[in-house]
Structure 1
Amino acid sequence: MLSPFNLLLITAGFSVVMLFVLGSLMRSHIPGLREWAGANALAAIALVLLACRGLIPNFLSIVVANTLAGLAICIIYLGFRRYYGLLLPLKPIALSLLALFSLFLVFHYVYDSIAIRTVIVSWFLGIYCLAIGLLIFQSAHRSLTLSPYPARFTAWVSILFFIGYGLRAVVYMTGTDHLISTMQASSWNLLFLSLGTLVMPLLTMGAIMMVHDRMLSKAIQDANHDFLTGAWTRRAFFEFAERELLRAKRMKRSLSLLMFDVDYFKRINDTYGHATGDNVLIDIVERAQLEIRNIDYIARMGGEEFSILLPEADANAALAIAERLRARLNSGTSIVISPGQQSTEKTVPYTVSIGVATHRADEGIIALMHRADIALYSAKAAGRNIVITAEEAMVREA
């Protein structure tokens, strides 16, 4: 049977292992990692000090060890607050740690009671576990995430540890178990120490799961969004288009496509510089998003060319959206020219030409895009700053 000494050392070993795992994630620069690593280091030291009861001065194995354990859970909590981008309540936490340290001094040197000390540290650790759980439940929506599972897992684990620490406090408050020493091999003490071996590893494991989920979410978002404009990438656009095409066929709904690019974009770059050209592209996406619906997709197909997929929009609706978009983009954008002491803000005029095509029952996405592309080039040939439908383009070519 495991002794309390062995359980404490095993838990310290778990914390050391978690340090290596957290260290492997440091280059991700995700907030909270440094706090969680520091907390595990403190926990490992605290557990070794607790295990050395009787071998080292009581001040170290009782007062310092339990204060370090309290500091570790506080830093875990701060790590989760930093992870969610929240303010760090350092003063209240420092005061709570000072209170914990003072109470341990009183109930060791003034009135020596291991039961009272156990109740105090149990409530301290339990309340911070509850705070972690509630924080995650309240803040999960703030985080870029693929799945709610990592956050829910960590939150519920924290709540369960709060219940466990609360039960421990009640057991020793009521005298259900008469505790003489931390190393006492009673059933209750071994149970609570066994549960205690899971606290730091499971909270850290939950934090690591949340970090991995955020890293994966960011990688997917970066792969699917244009780094400059924030529009969908070409690859993501084709995925959405194929999915919407299948849905349109299955539900017998309309599907339309707009293809447009900036007229004389090279002239803008040559006149104002490439930085201004980039600002024009950003401005286009921002303004376009004001005209399209939440179910529509705007993607940067390359250079200054964009596409907008319009699910459940027939030819008339697509033409109306295209005309509104052309008019909105016709007003130009305000750009700071020559940043510096003599920088000035000027309006950089630009226009777009738009081709419109509505899906036919017998065609795929490539064919739909080809017709929209033909309409776009027809709009350019017609003088630019105009909307042309695929049907009009066919008539013009004829």
Structure 2
Amino acid sequence: MLTPFNLLLLTAVFGVVMLFVLLSLMRSGITGVRHWLAAIVCSIVSLLLYAARGKIAPILTFELANALYGAAICLLYTGVCRFLSRPVPAKLLFGTLALLIALIAVFHYGYDLLHVRIALVSIFHGGLCLAIGLLLLRAPQTGPTHYSYRFTAFMAILFAFAHAVRGVVHGTGIEELSSAFQSAPVNLLFISLGALVMPVFTMGVVMIVHDRMMEQAMAAANRDFLTGAWSRRAFFEFADRELVRVQRNRRALSLLLFDVDHFKRINDTHGHAIGDRVLTEIVQRTEKELRGMDCIARVGGEEFAALLPEVDAASALVVAERLRAALGTHVVTEGPTVNAAIAYTVSIGVATLVPSESIAELMRRADIALYEAKAGGRNAVVCAVPDSADKPVIEVRTLPLPAR
């Protein structure tokens, strides 16, 4: 027979299982996991105290059990805030919890009113569940995180609604209870919903953390570890998708292929650490010159590619020259104790997609244009002519190198 005691005990056991699941996520380093771990521990202890009602001191099964379960909900909310990089109203949370426990004590020892205690607990838990649901609904949701966020938010709002109904039923005396451990169907339903809050929330946050870890793994695979630019593989995946789109819509697509002039000399003279700083700075400054829809990738040692959707040949030349000028006027200092500054320039090859052309062919033409820019003196922009891919034409002449 299902009784409140059996239900609470089973939920506590399920909580232990979820505790081990959360422990497996500790090494992820994702913020919020520690708070969720503390929440599930508090909830397990509180459920065991609830189940021991009538067998141990009432202060443990009423005040302490409610304090621990309230702390569990507060920690769950705190974990969500930390995970979403939101401020945590710690004083408000635990101040309200302290007030709740004080009121429970008043309506336990001063006025023994069970229905008032249940209504107070329902208001507190329901309010926090609703706050968690709203936080998750308002959080940015992209890609695989969409389902896990919505699932957890939906469950939070469902629990908030259940607590509201419970508060109304018991607070208004619609359902008279002589004991919270009655096996009446309504009471069992409310106990079930209340006991399942933490295990179900734990399932939700495990899904969210798993999605975050997947995003991080995909970012590590798709991003260059040094510069943060897209990797070569990710660039070609993006380029293939754009190729299909622009061919279907008959839109333009241009490619800039550029690398650092005399990069080996920079490494040999100033060291690889400075060379790495040059590459990182190039990506940062290039991102400022390009649009959000453009894609910049590191496709070789010091070679980069920028794909410009819906940009024709004339506009691509303007973008390339603006980029060349921006990079050519910047320097990297060696360090706080060294006054020398390292100037660098780039050479850029430009190619615009022609009908029936593949990304590989577009890349080959841009590479030929880049080679011509290098052969012509560097610090130049060269455009590949579509009807003569092997004979690019220098559209922007080589400019003098900046003073070193």
User: What is the TM-score of this pair, normalised by structure 2?
Assistant: 0.92
Q: Shift of the alpha carbon at 1:87?
A: 2.9
Flag the 1:271–1:2 CA change in 2: closer, same or farther, 3 A.
Answer: same
Aligned to 1:110: 110
Aligned to 2:323: 325
Aligned to 1:54: 54
Amino acid aligned to 2:325: A
Amino acid aligned to 1:235: R
Question: For residues 195-234 of structure 1, what are the structure 2 equivalents within 5 Å?
Answer: 195-234=193-232
Question: For residues 119-130 of structure 1, what are the structure 2 equivalents within 5 Å?
Answer: 119-130=119-130
C-alpha RMSD of the superposition: 1.9
Flag the 1:144–1:24 CA change in 2: closer, same or farther, 3 A.
Answer: farther
Report if aligned partners of 1:322, 1:387 keep a CA contact under 8 Å in 2. yes
Aligned to 1:42: 42
Q: Shift of the alpha carbon at 1:252?
A: 2.3
Flag the 1:148–1:379 CA change in 2: closer, same or farther, 3 A.
Answer: same
How far apart, in 2, do the equivalents of 1:128 and 1:211 lie? 20
Report if aligned partners of 2:116, 2:171 keep a CA contact under 8 Å in 1. yes
Flag the 1:100–1:375 CA change in 2: closer, same or farther, 3 A.
Answer: same
Q: Shift of the alpha carbon at 1:345?
A: 5.1
Aligned to 1:240: 238
Flag the 1:152–1:396 CA change in 2: closer, same or farther, 3 A.
Answer: closer
Report if aligned partners of 2:47, 2:195 keep a CA contact under 8 Å in 1. no
How far apart, in 1, do the equivalents of 2:322 and 2:61 lie? 74
Amino acid aligned to 2:105: L
Q: Does 1:386 pair with 2:384?
A: no
> The residue matched to 1:148 in structure 2 has which SS?
helix
How far apart, in 2, do the equivalents of 1:396 and 1:48 lie? 78
> The residue matched to 2:299 in structure 1 has which SS?
strand
Q: Shift of the alpha carbon at 1:145?
A: 6.0
Question: For residues 157-172 of structure 1, what are the structure 2 equivalents within 5 Å?
Answer: 157-172=155-170
> The residue matched to 2:145 in structure 1 has which SS?
coil
Flag the 1:266–1:144 CA change in 2: closer, same or farther, 3 A.
Answer: farther
Question: For residues 279-318 of structure 1, what are the structure 2 equivalents within 5 Å?
Answer: 279-318=277-316
Q: Shift of the alpha carbon at 1:86?
A: 2.6
Q: Does 1:347 pair with 2:341?
A: yes
> The residue matched to 1:310 in structure 2 has which SS?
strand
Q: Runs (4+) of structure 1 moved beyond 6 Å?
A: none
> The residue matched to 1:261 in structure 2 has which SS?
strand
CA offset digits 1:258-296 (Å, max 9, x no partner):
111100001111222222111111221122223222322
Amino acid aligned to 2:359: I
How far apart, in 2, do the equivalents of 1:94 and 1:21 lie? 27
Flag the 1:24–1:396 CA change in 2: closer, same or farther, 3 A.
Answer: closer
CA offset digits 1:67-94 (Å, max 9, x no partner):
1111111111111111122333222222
How far apart, in 1, do the equivalents of 2:254 and 2:134 lie? 46
Q: Does 1:376 pair with 2:374?
A: no
Amino acid aligned to 1:166: A
Amino acid aligned to 2:50: L
Q: Does 1:356 pair with 2:354?
A: no
Amino acid aligned to 1:309: L
Report if aligned partners of 1:144, 1:217 keep a CA contact under 8 Å in 2. no
Q: Does 1:24 pair with 2:24?
A: yes
Report if aligned partners of 2:299, 2:305 keep a CA contact under 8 Å in 1. yes
> The residue matched to 2:350 in structure 1 has which SS?
strand
Q: Which moved more, 1:97-106 or 1:230-239?
A: 97-106
Amino acid aligned to 1:365: I
How far apart, in 2, do the equivalents of 1:381 and 1:271 lie? 23
Q: Shift of the alpha carbon at 1:344?
A: 4.0
Report if aligned partners of 2:67, 2:101 keep a CA contact under 8 Å in 1. yes
How far apart, in 2, do the equivalents of 1:393 and 1:148 lie? 45
Amino acid aligned to 1:20: F
Report if aligned partners of 1:70, 1:125 keep a CA contact under 8 Å in 2. yes
How far apart, in 2, do the equivalents of 1:113 and 1:305 lie? 75
> The residue matched to 1:302 in structure 2 has which SS?
coil
Q: Shift of the alpha carbon at 1:347?
A: 3.4
Flag the 1:371–1:59 CA change in 2: closer, same or farther, 3 A.
Answer: same
Aligned to 2:82: 82
How far apart, in 2, do the equivalents of 1:161 and 1:306 lie? 51
Q: Shift of the alpha carbon at 1:168?
A: 0.7
Q: Shift of the alpha carbon at 1:144?
A: 7.7
Q: Shift of the alpha carbon at 1:362?
A: 3.4
Flag the 1:377–1:61 CA change in 2: closer, same or farther, 3 A.
Answer: same
Q: Which moved more, 1:67-76 or 1:358-367?
A: 358-367
Q: What are structure 1's unaligned runs of at least 5 residues?
A: none
Flag the 1:97–1:312 CA change in 2: closer, same or farther, 3 A.
Answer: closer
Aligned to 2:269: 271
CA offset digits 1:176-204 (Å, max 9, x no partner):
11111121111211111122232111111
Q: Shift of the alpha carbon at 1:238?
A: 0.6
How far apart, in 2, do the equivalents of 1:242 and 1:297 lie? 12
> The residue matched to 1:154 in structure 2 has which SS?
helix
Percentage identity across paired residues of the two chains: 54
Flag the 1:248–1:274 CA change in 2: closer, same or farther, 3 A.
Answer: same
Flag the 1:394–1:185 CA change in 2: closer, same or farther, 3 A.
Answer: closer
> The residue matched to 2:297 in structure 1 has which SS?
strand
Q: Count matched residues.
A: 391
